[in-house]
Chains A and B, each alone.
Chain A
Amino acid sequence: QVQLQESGPGLVKPSGTLSLTCAVSGGSISSSNWWSWVRQPPGKGLEWIGEIFHGGSSNYNPSLKSRVTISVDKSNNHFSLKLSSVTAADTAVYYCARETATADYGMDVWGQGTTVTVSS
């Protein structure tokens, strides 16, 4: 049973870089799945940030692309998110998720989410 767990600072200063890691347990990050980051601002809907395949291929939300980097660490079985030049608008719950080939790359496993607040 694959499980995902986000970790990282809960508070980031404006203009700083948000860095989160998603640890994958119960399965290999090198399987035939993509791995995604999704965020949800307080009281608002879901926003897709981007996705990565273990081979390094990635896709990003065009509205965030200039500030986002998603990477994979196969040796530690985790993937990471970096979002630069953050503002208060980046305050949100950040989720990592698995996009499984068996469900047409639907996000079938999610982390519990981690709250990140951008504030000085």
Chain B
Amino acid sequence: QSVLTQPPSASGTPGQRVTISCSGSSSNIGNNNVFWYQQLPGTAPKLLIYKNIQRPSGVPDRFSGSKSGTSASLAISGLRSEDEADYYCATWDDSLRGRVFGGGTKLTVL
């Protein structure tokens, strides 16, 4: 059971906008920056978002992050079939004194 809660699944059709939520607490999201990772089937995770809203070079602007209080969200607009993957939020937890991942959300493009 992760300290960061994500919905296990999400879905959308091509071109749609999908949002994935990540809920935490004051000891993690509420006091630290959030990261988002994309894991395509059979591959290593890839950094999508850092510092809540920033995209590394090469990540399309279709991906955007936000944070409010103890929750964060990842939005994917103009959904494409290649976006079908598992998405994980992550942050630092002050109480645990370590990094934590959400349980992951499996995104299906219908």
Q: Which residues of A contact B (CB under 8 A)?
A: 36, 38, 45-48, 50-51, 59-62, 95, 97, 103-104, 106-108, 110-113
A62 is contacted by which of B37, B39, B50, B98 (Cβ under 8 Å)? B98
Instruction: Check B45 for interface membership: any CB of A closer than 8 A.
Output: yes
Count contacts between A and B, CB distance < 8 Å: 66
Instruction: Check B24 for interface membership: any CB of A closer than 8 A.
Output: no
Interface of B is mostly: strand
Q: For the side of the interface on B, what is the size category?
A: 20 to 34
CA distance A50 to B104 in the complex (A): 19
If A46-B37, A106-B47 touch, whether A59 touches B97 (CB-CB below 8 Å) is yes
Does B98 lie within 8 Å of A95, measured CB to CB? Answer: no
CA distance A51 to B90 in the complex (A): 14
A46 is contacted by which of B33, B45, B47, B96 (Cβ under 8 Å)? B45
A60 is contacted by which of B88, B98, B100, B103 (Cβ under 8 Å)? B98
Does B101 lie within 8 Å of A47, measured CB to CB? Answer: yes
If A103-B56, A108-B56, A113-B44 touch, whether A61 touches B2 (CB-CB below 8 Å) is no
Chain A residues within 8 Å of B62, by CB: none
Does A108 lie within 8 Å of B44, measured CB to CB? Answer: no
B1-17 to A contact mask, C-beta < 8 Å, 1/0: 01000000000000000
